[in-house]
Structure 1
Amino acid sequence: MACTLGAGRPGGDFGGWIVPPGSGRGGRGPRGPPSIVAPLAAPQAELLVPAGTIRRWLQVEGAEPTAPAEERLGPAWRLLRRAETQLGELERRRAQDMRDVESYVGYVHTLMEEQDAIASEYEKENEQLRLELAQLQLQQGSS
């Protein structure tokens, strides 16, 4: 996953904003590193992440803010890999949730078909009982 720098400073300082492609939303985990919690339905939405936020994430990973950009690549790579892992897990969970929903919809559909079949049987039985009642009433009326 590549990030686009917007208005960064020369010399490798992340003075501008970072735009992670396809990251509908970003957030901070409980201790500071980013956690991807983007809605998967809107990959075209991009979120601008302030460079200061990225510096804090890198500090949590052990990168010194004054270190050269090359030395900050390792922690940045770990952050990227963790975010990709979290995104993959979210995608797996979403896929499982979709399978569960589809299964439940199938179950509800089966229940509705059973209900329709039972209602149809009751309607036929009701019609039969009406005919029998009408016959009994005719027989009693003619006697």
Structure 2
Amino acid sequence: MAKNGPRLAVRAVIVHDDRLLLVNAYANGQSDLMCAPGGGVELGASLPDNLAREVFEETGLRIDVGAPCLVNEFHDPTAGFHQVDFYFRCTVIGSTKIASAWQDVENIVTDRRWVTHAQMAKLRVKPDSLIDIAFGDAPISYDPLELIVR
């Protein structure tokens, strides 16, 4: 278990024109793993406020945060890392175009793209259930501990 308990994070499930927004958050090409945009929760701000901040930092997009749709946990037992991600259905406010020169504040996100169901099925994506949540009609879901992968 993590030294100070699990890290909390928020992630956005943004589907527009039958395409889901994914990001790669591994600096310097360390991994090809894609995930939903989002990140760590800062104290004193609500989960939706944290999510709107994170999505803007990573993509430059402004969002409207909707209902929760997934809770996912992942961990690295050897490193003592445990994270709980809260996923929300979101919509973009304004344009969905991401500026090609956009750089997140921490210079971690190396790829941002809108993908169809078929394109997503060919990518390495975490969590495993994200494709069903994004393109299916599943109600809110819970994924138990997944091993962290890079």
Above 0.5 in TM-score? no
TM-score bracket, shorter-length normalisation: under 0.3
Report which of the two has the higher share of helix: 1
Report which of the two has the higher share of strand: 2
Work out which structure has the larger RCO, using CA pairs closer than 8 Å and 6 or more positions apart in sequence: 2
TM-score (ref. length: structure 2) = 0.23
TM-score (ref. length: structure 1) = 0.23
